[in-house]
Amino acid sequence: MGTTCILDVATPLTMVLAETTSQDSIYYLHGLDLVAQSDGTTIDYLAYDGLGSVRQVLDDVSVPLLNQTFDPYGNLLARGGTGESRFGFTGEQVDANGLVYLRARYYQPGMGRFLNMDPSRQEMNPYQYGFSNPIDYTDPSGLIPIECMIDSDSDECLDARFRPYIVSREQWGAREPVFEYCYEDFYGEECIRGEDVFWEGLYDADCNPDGYAPYEDYKPGQTLEEIIFGAVIHHSGNTNDMTIQEVQNEHMDGNEHMADIGYHFVIAKDGTIYEGRDIGVRGFHVTAANTGRVGILVVGDFEPGDWLGTYPNDMKISNEDPDIPTSNQIDSLTALIRYLDVIYGLRLVEGHNDVNPDTRCPGNRLEPYVVQLDSQFGGE
Ligand SMILES: [Zn+2]
């Protein structure tokens, strides 16, 4: 009952050279594509459509033995003739149950999705096939669309290749930004739109220049690639271990009454990366230099010693042992910086105290990594 296959595993994508059952054998002839199949006596030739799906099987005088067409997701629309081929949608092997064998995983045309999860477990949607765009992308490896190997500059391909797994705001249950009020203490009564609470509020050139500033409003006509030029790395200092929820609550409910969490990303001690403030909104994490700088908090207290900083947030009153960043944190930070560099083109990777020298943030146990990341990913 079984089928024995002879495989060519020296090619980037494993190819079937022959299949043998107790009844018969089929031999496959490969050129740039699979060009023909033979039972040892007669040879049938395969003809493809633009996506690489097998549209026809022809005999040796070009008479069609099989005609078939598929919908964009690979479901059979029509089939006629007596010829056969195990190769169909996108030129790949199809099992008798209709599943398409894409090496790392099976693809289910009826659902338009993979039947198994992405083996890397890095994809935001681990069952998605071809970025849900099966006309432009095919995935013979089951790992990443092959178009990303050839022309890798589309946003989808760059994300697939470089984006680390990031826990989204929705996943961790972020509070919605609050920005209906101005920052009265700074900008005077004429700007007050609320009464007792002085939220950071929406950006307003006259009334609230430090406010919550979506770049599409604050820098109209400029792309994020044009605006974002740097990443600034922070630690949580004396507070040490904090959840992303605690960071957001502290920012929104504390003295600064920020409209939202100030950092764009938070990296927990176990290395998990959380999405903070929307990347399309100016951060609130350094003084007077937030435009174009992505704020990243690495959770921990990376500054040893008993000292009293000049910056209010940095006052250290105890001498507890400092942390050293975990290897998971450094791996995640490196992956995140690499991704930001690929997408936005970073020119600078800084520590908070490179921007505001009156703070010890991100701590001298983290600073060497900042220097290393700047030399690796900063610059053009
Ligand atoms: Zn900082």
Indicate if 170 and 92 belong to the same structural domain: no
Alpha carbon distance 205, 7 (integer Å): 66
Judged by average pLDDT, the poorest of 4-18, 107-121, 139-153, 334-348 is: 139-153
Percent of the chain with pLDDT over 90: 68
Question: How far, in Å, is the centroid of ligand 1 from the Cα of 33?
Answer: 55
What domain range is 362 assigned to?
A: 166-174+222-377
The reply to whether 128 falls in a domain is yes
What average pLDDT is seen over the chain? 88
Question: How far, in Å, is the centroid of ligand 1 from the Cα of 234?
Answer: 4
Indicate if 115 and 170 belong to the same structural domain: no
Residues near 35 by beta carbon (within 8 Å), at least 6 away in sequence: 29, 45, 46
> At residue 160, what is the residue type?
A
Mean pLDDT of 131-143: 93
CA 188 to centroid of chain Cα atoms? 42
Question: How far, in Å, is the centroid of ligand 1 from the Cα of 262?
Answer: 10
Which of 270, 189, 232 lies closest to 373, judged by CA?
232
CATH number for the domain including 281? 3.40.80.10
Indicate if 237 and 370 belong to the same structural domain: yes
Predicted TM-score of the model (pTM): 0.78
Question: How far, in Å, is the centroid of ligand 1 from the Cα of 315?
Answer: 12
Number of residues written out for the chain:
380
Which of 228, 352, 221 lies closest to 288, judged by CA?
352
Whether residue 181 is predicted with pLDDT greater than 60 in this model: the reply is: no
Indicate if 170 and 139 belong to the same structural domain: no
The reply to whether 131 falls in a domain is yes
Mean pLDDT of 265-278: 97
Alpha carbon distance 199, 21 (integer Å): 73
Question: How far, in Å, is the centroid of ligand 1 from the Cα of 363?
Answer: 9
Q: Are 180 and 202 in contact (CB under 8 A)?
A: yes
Whether residue 317 is predicted with pLDDT greater than 80 in this model: the reply is: no
Indicate if 234 and 342 belong to the same structural domain: yes
Question: How far, in Å, is the centroid of ligand 1 from the Cα of 376?
Answer: 21
The 10s digit of each residue's pLDDT in 67-125 is 999 999 999 999 999 998 999 999 999 999 999 999 999 999 999 999 999 887 777 78
The 10s digit of each residue's pLDDT in 357-375 is 888 899 989 999 999 999 9
The reply to whether 71 falls in a domain is yes
The reply to whether 138 falls in a domain is yes
Question: How far, in Å, is the centroid of ligand 1 from the Cα of 122?
Answer: 28
The 10s digit of each residue's pLDDT in 246-262 is 999 999 988 777 899 99
Alpha carbon distance 375, 156 (integer Å): 27
Residues 212, 214, 217, 222: is their CA dihedral positive or negative? positive
Indicate if 142 and 253 belong to the same structural domain: no
Indicate if 28 and 146 belong to the same structural domain: yes
Q: Are 296 and 263 in contact (CB under 8 A)?
A: yes
Question: How far, in Å, is the centroid of ligand 1 from the Cα of 362?
Answer: 6
The 10s digit of each residue's pLDDT in 147-161 is 888 777 888 889 888
